[in-house]
Amino acid sequence: MLEKQRQSFVADGPPGVAVRRDRIDRLMAMVLDNTDAFVEAMATDFGTRSRSASLATELVGMVPVVEHTRSHIRQWMRAGKLMRGARLVGLHAEVQPSPLGVVGIIGPWNFPLQLVVLPAAAAFAAGNRVMIKMSEITSHTAELMHRLAPDYFAGDELCVVTGGSDVAAAFARLPFDHLFFTGSPSVGALVQRAAAENLVPVTLELGGKNPVVVAPGADIARSAARIASARMVNGGQVCVCPDYVLVPERDVEAFVDVARRTLGDMFPTILTNGDYCSSVNEANFDRVLGLIDDARERGATVEIVAPDGEMLPDRASRKIAPTIVRDVDASMRIAEEEIFGPVLTVQGYRSLDEAIDEINARPAPLVAYWFGPGDKDFRDFVRRTRSGGVARNDFAAQMIPSGAPFGGVGRSGMGAYHGKAGFDAFSHYRTVVGSDLPFSLTGSAAPPFKPGMRWYADAMVRRARNRTRRRLAKR
């Protein structure tokens, strides 16, 4: 199928605006015409995931980003003109955004629909063909996508691949023109290694332990309520969820009191609550419980916020109660591993310098959170930390603008998409220069070198040297 898509891409040439928009429209129609089927498939995959949760996290957030991309295609496709004045004497220069060819997308299980549709829409906007490998963990969603795709696309436009980890490994080794992956840093490293065999460029959307700093001047009650609520989105199985919270030491007890009360109010029942998202499978259920047990055994204070009379965790439903963990130290796995579940760790800090040092001692996260005023302390926090994005006073606020780039840095990712960043990720910016001058501008670089060329080269070096010296002398 890869070769078929590539042959079709070469034969047809770069598509115009109308074709790109049509492909995006058919992609969205595939999703919107079959919303109920996708919601049901995802509920089956997770065990418990409500219709409202799937609509809110998979579809509602997706539509504005896709619409923004679609509406800007014509603008982004325009060539950038260089050296405009030189056109008057016969030198023409421009930079053309060109499609790469065939883009491979490896999707995750936590948002199995949105996180393949968004990169596919960006790849279509840039003029590419697309092959998608769906996650085998959410197999019902994958099979539905595989079955529906031929109703909306020819195979040489969009192809959906299903199968296990062996298929994913083979997919990652294909000689795509670009490979886009969303998942864990450990698997991302394997994907990058596989792609390197064919020198395939990659975009890696990974994760990490997202820190939250509650500022000394923050409203503790409001901050604790919002942070606790954010931790529970999709059962905590979100790459931008808050992972650990740094609170001024004097406010830790007050913060935990509000967080506990908020979680209790949110979930008066859990076992029979259709809005309480399950762990996606037993492996993730056991992994999260293992992090909690390890922390408890090593001396952490673990508080389970479970409704009265309910025995949690519950293996049959794969539900883990909201859990607050304190007194975490570096010996515990929970201090290093991304939790990806309904667990929040809370620790005190004595000064903002200490909090920032704590964050900088770890790999750069996908998002760094700040709860408090947008004052000098906040600006200092932004300047001194490194993360894919920064959100202040709200969950995933860095994703609110539809045109904002989304991506990590360091261990949390490589490259970005959403908005023009997505168009750029799947484009090659090709410089095209033509000369109608009666002489060659660059021919003098070939020997034999005439006296005029030698004089010119010496003069240019001397001029650059003097300019640099003058700049340095002013400091």
For 79, residues 6+ apart whose C-beta sits below 8 A from its C-beta are 94, 95, 96, 97, 432
| Residues found in the chain | 475
- Beta bridge partners, 129, equal 102
User: CA-to-CA distance for 124 and 20, rounded, in angstroms?
Assistant: 6
What pLDDT score does 439 carry? Answer: 87
Give the fold, CATH level 3, of 211-401: Aldehyde Dehydrogenase; Chain A, domain 2 (3.40.309)
The verdict on pTM exceeding 0.85 is: yes
Please give the full DSSP string across 136-188, using - where no structure is assigned: STTHHHHHHHHHHHHHHS-TTTEEEE---HHHHHHHHTS--SEEEEES-HHHH
What pLDDT score does 42 carry? Answer: 97
**DSSP annotation of 396:** T
- Domain ranges, ordered by start, for the chain: 1-207+417-429, 211-401, 441-473
CATH superfamily of 1-207+417-429: Aldehyde Dehydrogenase; Chain A, domain 1 (3.40.605.10)
Instruction: Write out the chain's pLDDT in tens, 475 residues.
Output: 999 999 999 999 999 999 999 999 999 999 999 999 999 999 999 999 999 999 999 999 999 999 999 999 999 999 999 999 888 888 999 999 999 999 999 999 999 999 999 999 999 999 999 999 999 999 999 999 999 999 999 999 999 999 999 999 999 999 999 999 999 999 999 999 999 999 999 999 998 899 999 999 999 999 999 999 999 999 999 999 999 999 999 999 999 999 999 999 999 999 999 999 999 999 999 999 999 999 999 999 999 999 999 999 999 999 999 999 999 999 999 999 999 999 999 999 999 999 999 999 999 999 999 999 999 999 999 999 999 999 999 999 999 999 999 999 999 999 999 999 999 999 999 999 999 988 888 888 888 888 888 898 999 999 999 999 999 998 8
Backbone angles phi, psi at 451, to 5 degrees: -55, -35
What pLDDT score does 88 carry? Answer: 85
Q: Are strands 158-161 and 211-214 parallel, antiparallel or unpaired?
A: unpaired
Give the 3-state secondary structure of residue 473.
helix
Give the closest residue to 418 by CA, choosing from 36, 133, 79, 61: 61
The CA-atom distances, in angstroms, between 237 and each of 162, 242, 293, 324, 346 are 22, 11, 19, 16, 18
- Residue pair 120/105 in contact by the 8 Å Cβ criterion: yes
User: CA-to-CA distance for 406 and 367, rounded, in angstroms?
Assistant: 10
Question: Locate tokens 């020198």: which residue?
Answer: 199
Backbone angles phi, psi at 346, to 5 degrees: -130, 130
- Beta bridge partners, 161, equal 133
User: CA-to-CA distance for 467 and 266, rounded, in angstroms?
Assistant: 65
The CA-atom distances, in angstroms, between 87 and each of 78, 232, 435, 441 are 18, 59, 9, 14
Catalytic residues: 205, 239
User: CA-to-CA distance for 390 and 89, rounded, in angstroms?
Assistant: 48
Give the 3-state secondary structure of residue 449.
coil
What pLDDT score does 440 carry? Answer: 86
Two tokens at 143?
């099979």
